[in-house]
């Protein structure tokens, strides 16, 4: 059967004649349809290729599914994301200024947080990536969106595990030791934090393995064991043991220093993170007598940048590790006009009695709760800067906020290049 792609829905689904849906076929392209799992169209199936099609550099791209767009040239990815966000606002009947996507100069190897999962191949531990929507681990460590240096460290870690005869955890039999390996890399210092996630306490030769890894990669400045005591889908749980070093790494943004622990939240793309923060703070336009509330504040990145300009910043974060890092970061930078609360934003704002000039909100992909949004409408901050990595839940929340707020501007940011995901900042002003 021959099929022709008419359009792409929701950034990944190629829709052909008669609503027939496949993946990896671009508008205008024709292909021979071979009924594979997930209806994938491989390059060899394409009869007429689009000028926007890129040569795929990753050998496991079609198997992995972690990237959606490696087969599309960067300029076209940008156009697709811009069109997606404009269509989203049009369909939701929200008229506002939507800016061009903030692009990147580094579309590959941008991820400074990488997670590899252990599996067994020919009786050896191999580290790799989960295949999308499956439990299968693809033993591959040359991922094109992960930091190159982190990929090299992962290879050394894998070799070290095998040298010390470690075993990979097997979920079906509930045996084996190594579950995952996580690396975080500081943009400012290039130092790395390495976490070995294990099934239970046992990690024989932990110190020796850490020393061997650090000998080859002095950029690894701390090694941590994260211990799972039961089956869980989480990568990192609370129980941790420091094997080497301080247990954290440092980063710096605009002259402010940040300590970052393994379980704290930190944006994965540092180059785009700086652009995101600069734009968010430009919207916030903080004055010296402003009271700023930073909700979902993580390790206090935005809060401390805002504190340089504001009279005071009230920050709320529910994750204990991020909150602890935020308190440390405040002291580290000698900042005394930021107030960090370890609380749920919903709980905190409902009992808040003061006024707010600028509200910054940066929730997770699920967006905010209706209770939180309704409480915001009662407090009535003069401006809201809403940052989100999921424009669909963000627009849901904006629908409620727009009862009292003008949606002034939307700024999409390309944070997750070569994937369908995008970050977006929405700037709102209290109606007069
Ligand atoms: C997308 S991150 C943003 C962090 C920070 N603004 C930054 O740029 O690094 C969202 C943060 O919200 C926190 N969080 C999620 N739900 C929360 C809630 N109900 N109350 C407080 N914090 C929450 C998470 O722990 C996470 O640190």
Render 33-87 in DSSP notation, one character per residue: ----GGGBPPGGGEEE--TTB-----TTHHHH-S-S-TTB-HHHHHHHHHHHHHH
Ligand 1 is surrounded, with C-beta below 6 A, by 265-267, 296-298, 301-302, 316-319, 322, 344-346, 362-364
pLDDT tens sequence across 283-325: 999 999 999 999 999 999 999 999 999 999 999 999 999 999 9
With a cut of 90, say whether residue 181 has pLDDT above it: yes
Determine the residue of 292, 361, 364, 376 to mutate for testing ligand 1's pocket, defined as the one with the most ligand atoms within 8 A of the Cβ atom.
364
**What is residue 238's predicted lDDT score, i.e. its pLDDT?**
85
pLDDT tens sequence across 50-83: 999 999 999 999 999 999 999 999 999 999 999 9
**What is residue 314's predicted lDDT score, i.e. its pLDDT?**
98
Alpha carbons 63 and 195: distance in angstroms, whole number: 27
Binding residues: 267, 296, 317, 362
Overall average pLDDT of the 421-432 stretch? 97
CATH code linked to domain 113-253: 2.40.50.1070
* Mean pLDDT computed over every residue of the chain: 96
Q: Residue 241 class from Cβ within 10 Å (0-12 exposed, 13-18 middle, 19+ buried)?
A: middle
What is the number of the ligand 1 atom nearest to the C-alpha of 319?
25
CATH code linked to domain 80-105+269-430: 3.40.50.150
Are 389 and 76 within 8 A, CB to CB?
A: no
With a cut of 90, say whether residue 101 has pLDDT above it: yes
Alpha carbons 225 and 243: distance in angstroms, whole number: 7
**What is residue 231's predicted lDDT score, i.e. its pLDDT?**
83
Residue in 5, 16, 143, 389 annotated catalytic = 389
Distance 316 CA to ligand 1 centre (A): 8
Which DSSP letter does residue 247 get?
Answer: S
Are 3 and 24 within 8 A, CB to CB?
A: no
What's the pLDDT band for 133 if we cut at 50, 70, 90? confident
Are 127 and 154 within 8 A, CB to CB?
A: yes
With a cut of 90, say whether residue 234 has pLDDT above it: no
What's the pLDDT band for 2 if we cut at 50, 70, 90? very high
Overall average pLDDT of the 33-46 stretch? 94
With a cut of 90, say whether residue 135 has pLDDT above it: no
User: Could you report the predicted ipTM of this complex, rounded to two decimals?
Assistant: 0.99
Of all protein residues, the one whose alpha carbon is nearest to atom 1 of ligand 1 is 364
With a cut of 90, say whether residue 355 has pLDDT above it: yes
With a cut of 90, say whether residue 86 has pLDDT above it: yes
Q: What is the 3-state secondary structure (H, E, C) of 83-142?
A: HHHHHHHHHCCCCCEECCCECCCCCCCCECEEEEEEEEECCEEEEEEECCCCCCEECCCC
Q: Quote the percentage of the chain above a pLDDT of 90.
A: 94
Overall average pLDDT of the 41-49 stretch? 96
**What is residue 195's predicted lDDT score, i.e. its pLDDT?**
98
Residue 389: active-site member = yes
Binding residues for S-adenosyl-L-methionine: 267, 296, 317, 362
**What is residue 132's predicted lDDT score, i.e. its pLDDT?**
87
With a cut of 90, say whether residue 209 has pLDDT above it: yes
With a cut of 90, say whether residue 230 has pLDDT above it: no
Task: Give 282's Cβ-side CA count (13 Å radius).
Answer: 11
């Amino acid at each position: 059967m021959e099929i022709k792609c008419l359009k792409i829905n929701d950034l990944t689904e190629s829709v052909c004649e008669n609503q027939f849906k496949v993946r990896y076929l671009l508008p205008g392209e024709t292909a021979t349809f071979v009924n594979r799992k997930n209806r994938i169209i491989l390059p060899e199936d394409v009869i007429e290729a689009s000028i926007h099609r890129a040569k795929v550099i990753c050998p496991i791209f079609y198997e992995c599914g972690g990237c959606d767009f490696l087969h599309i040239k960067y300029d076209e990815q940008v156009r697709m994301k811009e069109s997606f966000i404009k269509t989203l606002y049009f369909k939701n009947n929200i008229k506002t200024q939507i800016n061009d996507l903030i692009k990147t100069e580094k579309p590959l190897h941008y991820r400074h947080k990488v997670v590899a999962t252990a599996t067994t191949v020919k009786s050896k531990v191999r580290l790799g990536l989960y295949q999308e929507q499956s439990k299968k681990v693809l033993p591959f460590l040359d991922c094109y969106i992960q930091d190159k240096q982190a990929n090299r460290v992962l290879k050394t870690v894998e070799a070290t595990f095998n040298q010390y005869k470690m075993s990979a955890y097997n979920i079906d039999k509930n045996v084996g030791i190594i579950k995952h390996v996580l690396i975080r890399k500081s943009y400012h210092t290039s130092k790395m934090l390495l976490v070995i996630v294990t099934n239970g306490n046992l990690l024989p030769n932990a110190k020796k393995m850490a020393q061997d890894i650090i000998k080859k990669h002095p950029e690894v400045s701390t090694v941590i064991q994260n211990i799972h005591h039961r089956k869980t889908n989480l990568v990192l749980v609370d129980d941790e043991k420091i094997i080497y070093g301080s247990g954290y790494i440092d980063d710096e943004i605009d002259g402010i220093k940040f300590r970052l622990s393994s379980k704290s939240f930190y944006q994965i793309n540092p180059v785009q993170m700086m652009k995101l923060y600069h734009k968010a703070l430009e919207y916030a336009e903080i004055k010296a007598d402003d009271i700023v509330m930073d909700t979902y504040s993580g390790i206090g990145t935005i809060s401390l940048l805002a504190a340089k300009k504001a009279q005071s910043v009230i920050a709320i974060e529910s994750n204990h590790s991020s909150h602890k890092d935020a308190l440390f970061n405040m002291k580290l930078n000698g900042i005394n006009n930021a107030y960090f609360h370890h609380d749920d934003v919903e709980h905190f704002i409902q009992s808040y009695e003061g006024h707010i000039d600028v509200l910054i909100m940066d929730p997770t992909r699920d967006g905010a709760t209706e209770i939180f949004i309704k409480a915001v409408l009662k407090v009535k901050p003069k401006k809201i800067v809403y940052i989100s990595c999921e424009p669909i839940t963000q627009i849901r929340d904006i629908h409620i906020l727009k009862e009292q707020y003008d949606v002034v501007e939307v700024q999409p940011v390309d944070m997750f290049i070569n994937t369908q995901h995008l970050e977006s900042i929405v700037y709102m002003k209290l109606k007069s």
